[in-house]
Amino acid sequence: MFARIKKSGKYQYLQLVENKREGPKVKQRVLITLGRLDQLNEKHEVESLIKSLSRFSEETLLLLSETANPKATGVKIGPALIFDRLWKQTGIEDAIKKQLEDRAYEFKVERVIFATVLHRLMVSGSDRYCEQWLHDYKIAGVKGIALQHFYRAMAFLGEEVGKEEDQKVLSPDRNKDKIEEALFDFQRDLFSNLEMVFFDTTSIYFEGQGGESLGKRGYSKDSRPDLNQMVVGVILDDYGRPLCCEMWPGNTADVKTMIPIMEKVRKRFKIKQFCIVADRGMISNEILKYLEKPESKLSYILGVRMRRIIEVREDVLSRGGRYREVYPESSKVKDPSPLKVKEVLYNQKRYIVCYNAKQARKDAADREAIVKSLEDKLKQGAKSLVGNKGYQRYLNAEKDSLRIDKEKVQAEERFDGKWVLTTNTGLSSEEVALRYKELWKVEHIFRNMKSNLFTRPIFHKRDDTITGHVFCSFLALVLLKELERRLTDSGMEFHWKQIRQDLQSLQEIIIEEGEKKFVIRTESQGICGKVFQTVGVALPPTIKQI
């Protein structure tokens, strides 16, 4: 049975028709002619008829007329659908629930932690704001959550575990460490091992005093030496996946954290030997000597400060020898950057000189532009140029005058497009260079952590709640990295801001009229559908009756 329009002269009539089989043929029979369509529409009689019939249907589309008075509310559903699936598939949910097995909380701690992590991914703000933010999102299992539950969940993550005499003064064992170890066991299989890790640190300052030990004054990478801060280190495995994070007081130097952290990671994850990749600025001579000891069982790939180390600047870069091509130069944007490598042995140390021809041309052009700008400014007697680090390396001061030092300009040419590494591994020169380039991903992750993931502001005043707060940003990194991996495996690369915007645009509109309640899903925008397909989540139906 269906409705149809029957034309007669200049008018259209609305009819109710049924199909009826007569032998091998199906014929249509008009049950009733409801009237002229223009007159029915003028009096809203079609809508009235449909609404009247809807009372006898369990599944029906809600049609609104001018006389209707429905209630409509909307919530964002895209973020929770995607990241709740990844939350389960990465093993985070099970790891947290396992740590909660013997605990008798009266609220769902795992759901509170998930809500906090999702909050890190989507917007900025403290845990105080997260409680209000929840009202705009549809997240399973968070009904009735209050601000105190967020504080208690953060305290659980940062709670110290183990015997007091076994605790590290620098970084005690906490519940979050057990969760990290469970995640590593979940991802590990018979064919995987932890041979190489990437390590970097950053600083995060507090709005208040910070915790009992974490809030200290120190060198601030945020240019806020006036505020108390903490130091956060993240370690990635050789697949670029976040392995664990460590936290120290804000006055702890990077060089003081390396040895105890490496030993702690080896013990926690039961690793016999692995290679650490780090920037040379984090490695003191004391640590380097420790790494070179046979009993340390630690391999390393370290970046070298070419301009500061005399033997590298004067001897290693001057050594002859042919470069081996790793990646050729290409005009395609998605192709790897051009790379050549050359191995140099000096004073029983192994150096790898890396060269990027494309970067070399850029360095030469930048230097030429600086020198030209210098020439123009010197004609104007600009003595203030002495304080400009970009200009200073090319200037020479003579009494009360400045001039461009051509020898310094020429000396800079040897550094164009180059960087130097040192290693005690048995990897080939090509592998050493490519492994070190992976370190740049760590730095990119830190930029995500401090900008895209909005770890700040931190108002907590206890070490345990501060630890839980920062650990939620680490879990957000785990989810973000997993989503990025799946998109890459599917041949897709999208900027995180674009993904976030399109996921947030997917909403459910709940419409209530009388005793009827309907849920209407908004249209999938941009790349939202591709993200759902990649993660393996089906889009909800366009409309359904509750």
Given a cut of 80, is residue 436 above it in pLDDT? yes
Looking at the fold, whether 335 and 371 belong to one and the same domain comes out as no
Share of the chain above pLDDT 70, in %: 80
Residue 161 included in any domain: no
Q: Residue 218: its pLDDT value, please?
A: 63
β-strand 196-205 against 274-278: which pairing, if any? parallel
- Is 92 exposed, middle or buried (CB count within 10 Å of its CB: 0-12, 13-18, 19+)? buried
Q: Residue 538: its pLDDT value, please?
A: 92
Give yes or no for a contact between 303 and 280, defined as CB atoms under 8 angstroms apart.
Answer: yes
Residue 497 included in any domain: no
Q: Residue 251: its pLDDT value, please?
A: 73
Given a cut of 60, is residue 454 above it in pLDDT? no
- Is 160 exposed, middle or buried (CB count within 10 Å of its CB: 0-12, 13-18, 19+)? middle
Q: Residue 541: its pLDDT value, please?
A: 86
Given a cut of 90, is residue 299 above it in pLDDT? no
Given a cut of 80, is residue 533 above it in pLDDT? yes
Given a cut of 80, is residue 114 above it in pLDDT? yes
Given a cut of 90, is residue 83 above it in pLDDT? yes
Phi, psi (degrees; rounded to nearest 5) at 243: -95, -50
Given a cut of 50, is residue 452 above it in pLDDT? no
Residue range(s) defining the domain that contains residue 321: 193-356+417-458
Strand partners, 71: 512
Q: Across 9-102, where does the E strand assignment appear?
A: 11-22, 25-36, 71-76
Q: Residue 71: its pLDDT value, please?
A: 78
Looking at the fold, whether 425 and 377 belong to one and the same domain comes out as no
Residue 313 included in any domain: yes
Given a cut of 80, is residue 526 above it in pLDDT? yes
Q: Residue 65: its pLDDT value, please?
A: 47
Cα(112)–Cα(145) distance, integer angstroms = 7
The number of domains in the chain is 3
Residue 492 included in any domain: no
pLDDT averaged over every residue in the chain: 80
In the chain, % helix, strand, coil (3-state, to 5) comes to 45, 25, 35
Helix ranges restricted to H, 413-457: 429-447
Given a cut of 70, is residue 63 above it in pLDDT? no
Query: Which has the minimum average pLDDT: 129-143, 149-163, 327-341, 444-458?
Result: 444-458
| Helix, strand or coil, per DSSP, at residue 398 | strand
Q: Residue range 84-94: average pLDDT? A: 95
Which of the four pLDDT bands, split at 50, 70 and 90, describes residue 2?
A: confident
Structure confidence by residue, pLDDT tens digits, 248-262: 887 776 556 667 777
Share of the chain above pLDDT 90, in %: 22
Give yes or no for a contact between 31 and 17, defined as CB atoms under 8 angstroms apart.
Answer: yes
Q: Residue 443: its pLDDT value, please?
A: 64
Q: Residue 76: its pLDDT value, please?
A: 92
Provide the token pair at 267: 């013990």
Give yes or no for a contact between 182 and 434, defined as CB atoms under 8 angstroms apart.
Answer: no
Q: Residue 313: its pLDDT value, please?
A: 85
Looking at the fold, whether 261 and 330 belong to one and the same domain comes out as yes
Question: What's the gap between Cα 319 and its chain centre?
Answer: 41
Looking at the fold, whether 363 and 428 belong to one and the same domain comes out as no
Looking at the fold, whether 366 and 245 belong to one and the same domain comes out as no
Q: Among 437, 458, 479, which residue terminates a domain? A: 458
Residue 281 included in any domain: yes
Residue type, 135: H
Q: Residue 167: its pLDDT value, please?
A: 47
Looking at the fold, whether 236 and 380 belong to one and the same domain comes out as no
Looking at the fold, whether 315 and 343 belong to one and the same domain comes out as yes
Looking at the fold, whether 352 and 429 belong to one and the same domain comes out as yes
Number of other CB atoms surrounding residue 324 within 10 Å? 14
Looking at the fold, whether 429 and 320 belong to one and the same domain comes out as yes
Do you find a cis peptide bond into 457, omega within 30 degrees of 0? yes
Residue 526 included in any domain: no
Looking at the fold, whether 399 and 250 belong to one and the same domain comes out as no
Q: Residue range 324-341: average pLDDT? A: 84
Looking at the fold, whether 389 and 280 belong to one and the same domain comes out as no
Looking at the fold, whether 372 and 452 belong to one and the same domain comes out as no
